[in-house]
Amino acid sequence: MRTSVRTAAALLAALTLSALGVTGTSSADESRRHSATAALEPVTDFGSNPGALSMYRYTPDGLGAGRPVVVVLHGCTQNAATYFDGAGWQQAADKHGFSVVAPQQETANNANRCFNWFQSGDTGRGSGEALSVRQMVDRTVRDLDADPSRVYVTGLSAGGGMTSALLAAYPDTFAGGGVIAGLPHGCATSLVGAYSCMNPGVSKTPDQWGDLVRAAHPVHTGPRPRVSVWHGTADTTVVPRNATESVKQWTNVLGADQTADATHQLPGGTTQSDYQDSDGQVAVRSYLVDGMNHGTPVKPGEGCGKAGAHFLDTVCSTSYLTRDWNLSN
């Protein structure tokens, strides 16, 4: 299973990197990786690990029991430390008091470290990479006596696609998620389909998108995670249409309609749109960053991450995610 996945995923990664103009890991990426390595602790023996991922974790000094957990998923060509450091998650964890789990894709699974968001064997409940991430969460909750009702997940690009898959497959694990330059759950189940989803994108009705989420865990009757969707309007790698389709998907799942109930203008040319459920609670929140290309929005001048390849100096997405998830409480 892993061999066939590896072959398809490597080809998809090559196509993705061609679109990005990336030929390898930059010296800036290497610098970020080394600077963050000391902050992340490798964790082994966290479960059967069917997705063959590596687990890294950050625990702020003096973190008490009952605190939240945030899972952060890197993009293609990145690793756990690069994303943890570049997106500013250490600063956020220290400030607000939560642990961070940073899964890492390995080149044995994918030549360019893309999470395999388009392979059903890696995104389904109880299998592959999705189950590996769930096992990392379980290990962290046990080790740190963390609050299992306050576990969140976010990721960039392929990590954003895997975020969507995790929210669909494990609504009983995650209380919220942030999909950054990612894709709707179930958009693709093959290499060709994955590339079509990225660009030009795929359109479905809200019901069709919602059914894909509901089918991921058909017996689930409890609450589902709230979702935010982040995208740059100038993204040509994973086109902004994917943000529109993701909003359609999650508003359908969470009982909101397709018309925003409120909009707000934020720094960096960012438009926040809120979609409320029948109880008047924000179920889905969209953040569109005007003129931004493919990457995670950061704001180094405000102590939020480091600008570089796929870390774009516009607005601090990490700060807004922690706000939306009430992580300071």
pLDDT at 233: 98
Residues forming beta bridges with residue 151, ordered by sequence position: 69
- Between the two ends of the chain, the Cα-to-Cα distance in Å is 43
286: left (phi over 0), alpha (psi -120 to 50) or beta: beta
pLDDT of residue 2: 52
SS3 string, 214-281, reads HHHCCCCCCCCCEEEEEEECCCCCCCCHHHHHHHHHHHHHHCCCCCCCEEEEEHHHEEEEEEECCCCC
Provide the pLDDT for residue 236. Answer: 98
Catalytic residue among 54, 99, 132, 157: 157
Which residues, given as ranges, of the chain have pLDDT below 70?
Answer: 1-38
Measured in degrees and rounded to the nearest 5, phi and psi for residue 215 equal: -70, -20
Q: Is 32 helix (H, G, I), strand (E, B) or coil?
A: helix
- Which residue from 239, 188, 207, 220 is spatially nearest to 8, judged by alpha carbons? 188
Give the H or E element holding residue 73: strand 69-73
Task: Kindly give, in sequence order, each residue whose CB lies less than 8 Å from that of residue 222, ignoring residues fewer than 6 positions away.
Answer: 171, 172
55 has which bridge partners? 43, 103
Q: Where are the beta strands (DSSP E) in 92-172?
A: 99-104, 151-156
Q: Is 157 one of the annotated active-site residues of the chain? A: yes
What is the distance between the alpha carbons of residues 276 and 285, in angstroms, rounded to a whole number?
9
Cis peptide, bond prior to residue 184, ω within 30 of zero: no
β-partners of residue 229 are: 179, 286
Q: How far apart are CA 234 and CA 303, in angstroms?
A: 25
- Which pLDDT tens digit goes with each residue over 51-103? 999 999 999 999 999 999 999 999 999 999 999 999 999 999 999 999 999 99
Counting Cβ atoms within 10 Å, is residue 10 exposed (0-12), middle (13-18) or buried (19+)? middle
The pTM (predicted TM-score) of the whole model is 0.91
Q: Residue 56's Cα: distance from chain center in Å?
A: 16
